[in-house]
Amino acid sequence: MHKVILVMLLSVVSNCAMAQWEEILVSGNQTLYVNRATIKKVGSRVQMWSMTDFSGKTSFPSIAELREYDCKKNQERTLTSDIHARHMGKGAILDSLKPSADEPNDMSELSPQDQIPQLVLNIACGKK
């Protein structure tokens, strides 16, 4: 009986976590998602997780990234990139990329041509 209850609870928790990923763009073999529930204000900046899910033959099915945005200066930087073995950020993390302490990880300014990063920045900053 306890196993049945545990399985039901895990199913509910798993479905809730999936529901937080919101599809915002499909382009070619890539689908971009954001998780608005992860928006966190840090000083004058905001952080949010996004995920790119790849279809077709690829060496990694999905990448989840934690990015930081400066809403006033229209800038962004990547804090963490996790490469997952399965779609939708599931499965083992094959690699986790973070800037090292001796690497510059400066904010980079977005230009009008940066349509996809600009879309994600707008969501993180509450402009969309």
- The CATH code of the domain that includes 77 is 2.40.128.710
| 61-98 residue pLDDT tens | 999 999 999 999 999 999 999 999 999 999 999 999 98
Burial 50-87 (b: 16+ CB within 10 A, else e): bbbbbeeeeeebbbbbbbbbbbeebbbeeeebbbbeee
Domain annotation covers residue 11: no
CB atoms within 10 A of CB 24: 15
The verdict on residue 88 lying in a domain is yes
Q: What is the band of 114 on the pLDDT scale with cuts at 50, 70, 90?
A: confident
Q: Is residue 2 part of a domain?
A: no
Residue 90 in any domain: the answer is yes
118 has a pLDDT exceeding 60: yes
Q: How many domains does the chain have?
A: 1
For residue 111, what are its two tokens?
């230009």
Residue 56: predicted pLDDT: 84
Q: Confirm whether 59 is domain-assigned.
A: yes
- pLDDT above 50 for 8: no
pLDDT band at 104 (very low <50, low <70, confident <90, very high): low
pLDDT at 3 over 70: no
Domain interval for residue 36: 21-124
pLDDT of residue 83: 96
pTM for this entry: 0.79
